[in-house]
Structure formats: C-alpha cells, structure tokens
Amino acid sequence: MTDDNIVVWHNSYSIGIPLIDEQHKELIRLTNQLFASCVAGRESSKASFMETIRGAVDYIGYHFSTEEKVMERVNYPDYLSHKKEHTKFVKEVLIEVDDFKSGRSFVPNAFVHFLKNWVLAHIAVCDKKLGEYLINLKKSGSLQGITLRVKQEANGQRLVIR
C-alpha cells in the first residue's frame, strides 16, 4: 500500500479469468480514488467523493452483471448464493450513499475501508470459487464454444457471452 492508495492489486487476487480480473482491478482503482477523495481534506473533496461514488456504484453494477451473466451461462452451481452476496452488498452501498447525500451520519473513510474489505473478501472467497469452477470447465473442455469477453462499441462496451 502506498500513501496514495488504500489497496494495491496483487496477483494473488487473480481468479484466473482475465475479463473478471480486469474488472476487479478497476474496482480497486475506484476504491483508491474514493480514498484519495477522503484524504484530500478540502471542501471540494465532498463533490469529488460524490462523483466517484456515483461512478463506483455504476461500475459495481456493471461488474456484478458481468459475473452473473457468466454464472448463468455456465450453470454455476453456487449462482444463487453468489448473486445474493452481490444484492446484499449493493443494498449496503446504496444505504451509505443515501446517508452521504442526505447529510446523515456518514464517515467517508469508514465507507472506503468497508468497500476495500468487502471487495477483497468477496474476491478471495466467492470469486475464487467461480474462477476455479470456470478453469475446471475449461480444462475439461466444457467451455468449448463459449466466449467471455467485452466488445468495444461506438457507444461503450458490451459483454459478449456465447
């Protein structure tokens, strides 16, 4: 960890699926961006923090959607439990964001630590299991003909799962 970052990507976080690993790296980047907004110590940091939260919430939704589409496509046996973890996390984040917007009790630093801890724990447990499952499917030849990638388009990105 550097002074500017609360967390730094380490290869041990990799689940072995490049598409998902790249998205996890972006979640870590957003967590660090939120942390930077917290420690800035300026009034403008509140606006920066709010803008970054909006981007993080959007990206979290995109990332969870990616994982859930992958899990559905490969009939992942722990899909419902994994999706439940995503839903619970999103609800917690939205409550925190609402508290921040309304001026209720909200501690940005505590929120960033919560985000960091949840993301790393989720990757280490739930996503590692998903990665192992996908790697085993690939080794057994069961992923033949399935494409997992993000396609760049003029109006953004689109997940391609076939």
Do 131 and 139 contact (CB within 8 A), yes or no? no
Does residue 42 lie in a domain region? yes
Q: pLDDT tens, 6-55?
A: 999 999 999 988 889 999 999 999 999 888 877 766 555 667 777 888 88
Give the model's pLDDT for residue 68. Answer: 94
In a domain, residue 2? The reply is no
141 secondary structure, DSSP code: T
Whether 1 is covered by a domain: the verdict is no
Any idea which residue has 């969870």 for tokens?
64
Residue 157 burial (10 A CB sphere; 0-12, 13-18, 19+): exposed
The 10s digit of each residue's pLDDT in 89-134 is 999 988 888 887 777 766 777 888 888 999 999 999 999 999 999 8
157's enclosing H/E stretch is: strand 156-161
Phi/psi at 53 (5° precision): -60, -45
Residue 7 falls inside a structural domain: no
Is the pLDDT reported for residue 156 higher than 60? no
What's the total number of domains in the chain? 1
Give the E-state strand segments of 86-155 in sequence order: 148-153
Which CATH number do you get for residue 146?
1.20.120.50
Residue 115 within a domain: yes
Quote the pLDDT of residue 77. Answer: 96
Question: Is 6 part of a structural domain of the chain?
Answer: no
Residue 9 lies in a domain: no
Range of 151's domain? 16-161
Supply the pLDDT for residue 82: 96
pLDDT at 84: 96
Does 53 fall in a domain? yes
Give pTM, 2 decimals.
Answer: 0.83
Q: What pLDDT does 34 receive? A: 85
Q: Given this model, what pLDDT does residue 94 score?
A: 87
pLDDT of residue 48: 74
